[in-house]
Chain A
Amino acid sequence: MKSFLILEDGTVFTGTHIGVQKEVISEIVFNTSMAGYLEVLTDPSYAGQAVCMTYPLIGNYGICRDDMESKKPWPDGLIVRELSRIPSNFRSEMTIQQFLEDNGVPGIAGIDTRALTRILREKGTMNGMITTNQTYHPDEIIPKLKAYTTGKVVERVTCKEKYKFPLTGAGLKVALLDFGAKDNIARSLAARGCDVTVYPANTTAAEILADAPDGIMLSNGPGDPKECTTIIEEIRKLYESDTPIFAICLGHQLMALATGADTFKMKYGHRGGNHPVKDLSTGRVYISSQNHGYVVNMDKLDPKVAVPAFVNVNDGTNEGLAYTGKNIFTVQFHPEACPGPQDSSYLFDRFIAMMQRT
């Protein structure tokens, strides 16, 4: 069946329909990872977005459930050049087609994904619609596309109730604030012996601190950080407690906003597994997994509060902060990888060492 991707700027791509038949409006972003489509699909940070994979051959190794980063796929839609006809991997349990259908995700295949990427690169991230309706009317659709925002999407992805992470350790107590956390954050901590408890995003600071954790982990998550106004207020309180804090991605942005810094939306963000980040404390460069559309504005940092700890080698944007006089460090990229390089997993060790010190 024919399917269409209609962009805010009026561009229309015609391809074939994949997944469930459903019309969606979403923010269109691209990811440059060559492997790890399942991790991308199950990353809650993609809630409110439809993701285009720049690698043209997707689904080659099927669906290996162990690789899921959450219980279900989150993107509003999947945009690919080609879906593999058969999956081939000893762990594969089903085809990606089946997975999309089972989970109600629509998508489009057979379009020139590189051309789409070039449009997003040149004009910036924009909204779009995936539809199988052949009689679409751009005049009606485009105003709708322009009006779309992801909104308070964290509320959609966070867990509803506090829970203990399964297979967790018995060591340091870590409170993981779930803004849309990828499972590998908790897994990485648990693997290092931590006793991880996951809290919904709207948990108050008082409630968390009452559990007396050894450290607090602020997770990744979707959307514009500035939408998370009440969460930011609570994070301010966590900042003021003396509990060690490590934050990733959205968590990093929220901590920055809570302490007086600013964030802005990037033209088309960083989404992929090949971005070099420099650890300013050692001068070493690591290849990182990235997925963010917003970034902390380095120009507005107060060095008395926080100083840059990591920087993106390519475009010089902020990739991490060290908080002055505090046991707090935060990163924009994803040390939990999945998908992507595991080069910066040492940051979890750094967090553990920090908790042990205090």
Chain B
Amino acid sequence: MPKNPNVNRVLVIGSGPIVIGQAAEFDYAGTQACRSLKEEGMEVILVNSNPATIMTDGDIADKVYIEPLTTKVLEQIIIKEKPDSLLPNMGGQAGLNLGMELDESGFLAAHGVTLLGTTAKTIRKAEDRLEFKETMEKIGEPCAPSLVVENIEDGVAFAKKIGYPVVLRPAYTLGGSGGGIAHDQMQLEEILANGLRLSRVGQVLVERCIAGWKEIEYEVMRDSAGNCITVCNMENIDPVGVHTGDSIVVAPSQTLGDKEYQMLRSSALNIINELEITGGCNVQFALHPTSFEYCVIEVNPRVSRSSALASKATGYPIAKVAAKIALGYTLDEIKNAITGKTYASFEPTLDYCVVKIPRLPFDKFITAKRTLTTQMKATGEVMSIANNFEGALMKAIRSLEQHVDCLRSYDFSALTAEELLERMEIVDDQRIYIIAEAIRKGINYDTIHRITMVDHWFIDKIAILTEMEERLEKEPLTVELLKEAKRIEFPDNVIARLTGKTEEEIKNMRYENGIVAAFKMVDTCAAEFAASTPYYYSVFGSETEVVESHPKKKVLVLGSGPIRIGQGIEFDYCSVHATWAFAREGYETIIINNNPETVSTDFDIADKLYFEPLTPEDVENIVNVEKPDGAVVQFGGQTAIKLTESLMKMGVPILGTKAEDVDAAEDRELFDQILEETEIPRAAGGTVYTAEEAKAVANRLGYPVLVRPSYVLGGQGMQIAISDQEIEEFMAVINRYEQDHPILVDKYLQGKELEVDAVCDGTDILIPGIMEHIERTGVHSGDSISVYPAPTVSEKVKETIAEYSRRLAKALHVIGLINIQFIAMGDEVYVIEVNPRSSRTVPYISKVTGIPIVDLATEVIIGKKIRDLGYEPGLQPAADYFAVKMPVFSFEKIRGAEISLGPEMKSTGECLGIAKTFNEALYKAFLGAGINLPKHKQMIITVKDADKGEAIEVARRFEKLGYIIYATRSTAAALNDAGVKARKVNKISQESPTVMDLILGHRIDLVIDTPTQGRDKSRDGFLIRRTSIETGVNCITAMDTATALVTSLENAETQEEMTLIDIASIARRGK
């Protein structure tokens, strides 16, 4: 069927800020969809509140609105832009829900907008628990016995009927928010109450627990003519019970015979046909481990995290094809871009094995529960490819960058067999390490399987790895043994550790015996057809397929690995833009990355893509084959920076700022020297290794002090300490891992925090703008609300910042990007830290200033001068609008995580508010972050003594807005004394009704709780904050944030229409 001629102007909805369960995969899908639509001559109008995305770039869509994703905003955009169609299935659940709401309200029909791709009817059939179940019954596809309930009583009654344990799944939530497994009535009541509240439609499915069954997924495509294919199937190593986003997943399925494989495939096709989905769809099955019985778990009628994974695992571009299908094409009309010979109706077949491991944030939230459930907790994931499972698992483990490189990385050897069995009952991210230890201790496969329900086949694969560890330890290292160890991807450093040799010795032995990595192509067709797409993975013991290329210039761009708190999608944005900029300058570009969710790992971004771990050894394998003229590390976050030294040893020149200059910025003594030379003040401090040294420095400086490791991103491990006791506590946390670099202890200065991202060509510096943080110093810059242009500092401060930036960039010989953070106390400016590399704010500041920072940095790295690029050096004139970057958190997903803000970053994503006035921009930013007030106009304030003064002012303003204020004893007294009416509530330990009862009563809009110092989580404050988050109540932990919020709400009262700003037009102006 040819393209539908009535579709010319398409509105695409993105997924908004990155949260757990909805991450970079939607930037990948959305970007691919937009490019695919533009290829077809469509005018694309894009809406997404997330400024860190590639999809919100001026060159991806014709019109770009970085606006809050609410129906009101979308309605305004539709009226303004008059699209003829809306593509809702690229923006995850968030996008889909919005599309549905606009359709249900009749707004789309009234404005002549057609929903493209899957219809609203289909979405309802797939997503509404009841309709879905009825549909499945109609076509004879089995679901686990279940009932949709809208109240707790019905849930309890049904659970009694089908028996515990039961699974609870709220309708219309993402990442399974609010779901869980209840083993008894008490747990049921607790989870159900929460789920009912979180569900958009107040429905929760109570279902027979099929935990322990095999979890199998199929990615299916269907066109409007009814042609269907499956792109890929995947098997979760963790059986049903762990959210697939938190499971280790292998593609294709390994333990299914053709009978089972085809049974489920046919079922998936039946389902997609009955639902009449056009586009991509994910179907999840539970398969009984010892029979052909299966149940359909759920269907996602849109692109998803799994579809991104399937795309990367097979090379089949699901989002791109889905976009073409939405325009009316059929699968047999769409060419397979990888082979150029086959069509989109060809099912990919793999001749390798893919393993995905989730990146869980327990290294960040050390107090959180590590347990994995049906509610997703991972912030990101890594994928690896090998021609055997063991190798793929080993590669994935070392891609995680969590201090793990083999199955011994968590040491459970001290546990007895009994203790291990007990520990194995706990389902968490360390389970494979526990299984490995159980195998070492001689526990048999049957026992391990009985407890974990992990298939024997996977247990045996883990055993093959532990056997190799033992052989390496005990046997002499022969060439044959080394070959076998490399075949299953033991890295040299692990072999060295196990054999007692050095890594260098292992490497030499390999090279002498020709044991080197070969590279194979991902081609969708198992080599049946010649493919032109250079998408590679490494294996040992094979011939290499990389076609030698000898371009004029060849550059290696190092990606940023898995998405984690502190190193998010922003670095993928930078890597991709740098790659494009190098390509424009005639370079052959090579990307190395291991994150399947991102745009950078799409097969047509760079000239060559290597899907590999980002460790020195893995990178060296590629360098040996490609022999690049240079590598660029400043765009890939800390992951790439950490590889600098190794790249230099390999003889690869580092393009841009030199490694020794990067060191100078991180090394305390060198940096102090530079500051002295350039006459720039900073907070006094010292470097330490031990708690004793830290206490000595702290007492010399006087408390409070800032404690942090050097060479980290996202303030990992950074804390403000007020006492010797806290120093001890924090130093213990930091020193959990051996530190290669000293720990910094600085005097904590409280002032305004400001930040710049700049481009330096060695002589001149270009500063697009100065950002000011709403929260005072002490809150990590990634968690602060950031405003451009800086609204409250004097011209003198701005000039000083520009001048200091210039001096620092020059002294550090920066070629490319630099990020500098400052504190302003009055007109005094101090430098906090300097990072001669890209930062989290680069995409945001690029978009709002229209200055393409990464492109310019790349040009400068190549050798151009800022003046030649058409820019006047120095601080650029401020824009005539305000842009507010708001952090977004995923605390509700991580049970037990401390939510109060501090020097260590905790946010998972961000959104932008951009408007003519500061107040409107702030209002939009809060709205975009999902803080949509007022609802009940009731709030709770409980603040530490130091904050009472400010609390009074904030409370007064809330009172004026009509809020009823509840406060704990001392806060209430302070407020009432100051003439603000506050109702006193009891503390948790006191008699009911307490502050907790109030929160649980679902009548509270907002809690302002500024934590008292210390990380003791048994304190009331911790409980109040956690309860708020878990019951969906907004909770603010810094007074500055509270002030900003009340300002925004005051503005909302007067705000009618929102001003819409097209980012694409800013970009064009910038050029």
Residue of A nearest to B265 (CB): A341
The interface bits of chain B over 238-268 (1 if a CB of A lies within 8 angstroms of the residue's CB, else 0) are 0000000000000011111111011001100
Within 8 Å CB of B433, what residues of A?
Answer: none
* Chain B residue nearest to A269 in the complex (CB): B528
In the bound complex, what is the Cα–Cα distance between A83 and B345 (angstroms)? 31
The number of inter-chain residue pairs (CB within 8 angstroms) is 162
Contacting pair A340 B262 (CB below 8 A): yes
In the complex, which residues of chain A have a beta carbon less than 8 angstroms from the beta carbon of B319?
Answer: none
Cα of A340 to Cα of B265 in the assembled complex, Å: 10
Other-chain contact of A114, B347, B348, B520 (Cβ < 8 Å) = B520
Question: What distance in Å separates the Cβ of B523 from its nearest Cβ neighbour in chain A?
Answer: 10
Give chain A nearest CB distance to B802 CB in angstroms: 57
| Docked-complex contact B269 and A112, CB < 8 angstroms | no
Q: Tell me, rounded to whole Å, the shortest Cβ–Cβ distance linking A74 to chain B.
A: 17
Q: Is the CB of A117 within 8 A of B527?
A: yes
Q: Is A252 an interface residue (CB 8 A)?
A: no
B536 CB to closest chain A CB (Å) equals: 12
A117 to B289, CA, bound (A): 34
Chain B residue numbers with a CB within 8 Å of A340 are 258, 262
Distance between A288 CB and nearest chain B CB, rounded to angstroms? 10
Smallest distance from the beta carbon of B301 to chain A beta carbons, Å? Answer: 21
CB A56 to nearest CB in B, in angstroms, measures 5
- B252 x A118 contact (CB < 8 A): no
A-contact 0/1 string along B326-349, CB 8 Å cutoff: 000011100000000111011111
Closest chain A CB from B228 CB (angstroms): 8
Q: Is A123 an interface residue (CB 8 A)?
A: no
CB distance from A110 to the nearest CB of B (A): 8
Q: Is A57 an interface residue (CB 8 A)?
A: yes
What is the CA–CA distance of A81 and B390 in the complex, to the nearest angstrom? 14
Give CA–CA (A273, B460) in the complex, Å: 28
Min distance, Cβ A344 to any Cβ of chain B, angstroms: 12
Within 8 A of B (CB), among A271-302: 272-276, 278, 283-287
B291 within 8 A of A: yes
Closest residue of chain A to B290, judged by CB?
A90
Using Cβ atoms and an 8 Å threshold, which residues of chain A touch B349? 32-34, 54-55, 272-274
Report the Cα distance A34→B235, complex, angstroms: 13
Within residues 510 to 531 of chain B, which ones have a CB less than 8 A from any CB in chain A? 520, 525-530
Residues from chain B with a CB closer than 8 A to the CB of A91 are: 257
Partner of A86, one of B456, B520, B529, B543: B456
Instruction: Determine if B226 and A284 form an interchain contact, defined as CB atoms under 8 angstroms apart.
Output: yes
Chain B residues with CB under 8 Å of A55's CB are 252, 349-351, 526
Choose among A38, A57, A87 the residue that contacts B388 (Cβ–Cβ < 8 A). Answer: A57
A193 within 8 A of B: no
**Interface 9-residue window, one of A59-67, A97-105, A149-157:** A59-67
Q: Which of A27-60 contact B (CB under 8 A)?
A: 30, 32-36, 38-39, 54-57, 60
Taking a contact as CB atoms closer than 8 A, the residue among A57, A112, A314 that contacts B541 in the complex is A112
Q: Is B410 an interface residue (CB 8 A)?
A: no
CB of B345 within 8 A of CB of A117, answer no
Of A54, A66, A272, A342, chain B has the most CB atoms within 10 Å of the CB of A54
The yes or no answer to A241 lying at the interface (CB within 8 A) is: no
B-chain residues with CB within 8 Å of residue A122 when the two chains form the complex:
530
Distance (Å) between the CB of B207 and the closest chain A CB? 24
Kindly list chain A residues whose C-beta atoms are within 8 Å of the C-beta of B527: 54, 114, 117-118, 121
Shortest C-beta distance, B370 to chain A (Å), equals 28
Q: Is the CB of B332 within 8 A of A84?
A: no
The interface on chain A, measured as residues whose beta carbon lies within 8 A of the other chain's beta carbons, has a size of: 56
Interface centre among B265, B266, B347 (most CB of A within 10 A): B347
Given contacts A86-B460, A88-B255, A341-B262, contact A34 B346 (CB under 8 A): no
Chain A residues near B520 (CB-CB < 8 A): 114
A337 within 8 A of B: yes
* Distance of A36 Cα from B263 Cα, bound (Å): 13
Residues of chain B within 8 A (CB-CB) of A338 are 258
Q: How far is the CB of B231 from chain A (nearest CB, A)?
A: 11
Q: Nearest A residue to B521 by beta-carbon distance?
A: A114
- A339 at the B interface (CB under 8 A): yes
Assess the B332–A54 pair: CB atoms within 8 A. Answer: no
Which of A66, A82, A90, A117 touches B528 (beta carbons < 8 Å)? A117
Q: Mark B57-95, 1 if CB is under 8 A from A, else 0.
A: 000000000000000000000000000000000000000
- Chain B residues with CB under 8 Å of A285's CB are 225, 227, 330-332, 345
Do residues A121 and B530 form an inter-chain contact, with CB atoms below 8 A? yes
Chain A residue nearest to B1 in the complex (CB): A283
Is residue B152 contacting chain A, with contact meaning CB distance below 8 A? no
Q: Are B343 and A339 in contact (CB under 8 A)?
A: no
With a CB–CB cut-off of 8 A, which chain B residues contact A121? 527-530
Are B262 and A88 interface neighbours, CB within 8 A?
Answer: no
B341 with A88: CB separation less than 8 A: no
Closest to B341 in A: A314
Q: Which of A35, A66, A122, A339 has the most CB of B within 10 A?
A: A35
Chain A residues with Cβ below 8 Å from B266 are 341-343
B535 CB, nearest partner CB in chain A, Å? 14
- Looking at the assembled complex, report how far the CB atom of B387 sits from the nearest CB atom of chain A, in whole angstroms: 5
Checking B265, B348, B526 against A117 with a beta-carbon cut-off of 8 angstroms, the contacting residue is: B526
Query: From A40, which residue of chain B is reached at the shortest CB distance?
Result: B258
Asked whether A57 lies within 8 Å of B542 as measured between CB atoms, the reply is no
Contacts A85-B464, A285-B332; A57 near B254 (Cβ below 8 A): yes
Among B291, B457, B545, which residue has its beta carbon within 8 angstroms of that of A88? B457
**Residues of chain A within 8 A of B541, CB atoms compared:** 112
Interface pair B542/A112, CB less than 8 Å apart: yes
Asked if B258 and A35 sit within 8 Å, CB to CB, the answer is: yes
A337 engages B331 (CB within 8 Å): no
Q: Does A159 count as interface, using CB distance less than 8 angstroms?
A: no
How far, in angstroms, from A118 to B266 measured CA to CA in the complex? 31
The reply on B325 being an interface residue by CB < 8 A is: no
CA A286 – CA B460 in complex, angstroms? 37
Q: Given A54-B527, A272-B528, A313-B346, are A35 and B261 also a contact pair (CB < 8 Å)?
A: yes
Complex interface: chain A residues within 8 A of B457 (CB): 60-61, 84, 86-88
Contact partner of B346 (CB less than 8 A), chosen from A67, A85, A118, A314, is A314
Q: Are A67 and B343 in contact (CB under 8 A)?
A: no
B252's nearest neighbour on chain A, judged by CB, is: A34
Cα separation A337 to B543 with both chains bound (whole Å): 33
A125 at interface, CB cutoff 8 A: no
Q: Scoring A residues 310 to 343 as 1 if CB is less than 8 Å from chain B, else 0, what string do you get?
A: 0001110000000000000000000001111111
A287 vs B257: C-alpha distance when bound (angstroms) = 18
Partner of B229, one of A56, A276, A315: A276
Cα-based distance from A278 to B223 in the complex (angstroms): 14
Evaluate whether A343 and B542 lie within 8 angstroms (CB atoms) in the complex, with A85-B464, A121-B528, A276-B345 already known: no
* Chain B CB within 8 A of A132 CB: no
**In the complex, what distance in Å separates the CA atom of A87 from the CA atom of B330?**
40
B158 cross-chain contacts in A, Cβ below 8 A: none
**Interface: A89 (CB within 8 A):** yes
Minimum CB–CB distance for A71 against chain B, Å:
18
CB of B338 to closest CB in A, whole Å: 13
Residues of A within 8 A of B258 (CB): 33, 35-36, 38-39, 67, 338-340
The residue that B351 contacts in the complex, of A39, A87, A113, with Cβ under 8 A, is A113
Question: Does A115 have its Cβ within 8 Å of any Cβ on chain B?
Answer: yes
Q: Given A90-B289, A90-B290, A115-B542 in contact, is the A313-B351 Cβ separation under 8 Å? A: no
Pick the most buried of B253, B257, B351, B457: most chain A CB atoms within 10 A of its CB: B257
B227–A275 touching, CB < 8 Å: no
Q: Does B891 contact A (CB under 8 A)?
A: no
Cβ A82 vs Cβ B388 within 8 A: yes
Known: A55-B350, A117-B526, A121-B528. A36 touches B543 (CB 8 A): no
Sort A-B residue pairs by CB-CB distance and give the 10 closest, nearest first: A36-B258, A274-B347, A88-B457, A54-B526, A90-B290, A276-B345, A339-B258, A117-B527, A88-B456, A285-B227
What are 23 A-to-B residue pairs whose CB atoms are below 8 Å? A34-B349, A35-B257, A54-B526, A54-B527, A56-B352, A56-B353, A56-B388, A61-B457, A67-B258, A67-B259, A85-B460, A85-B464, A121-B527, A121-B528, A273-B347, A274-B348, A274-B349, A276-B229, A285-B331, A287-B229, A313-B343, A314-B342, A315-B341
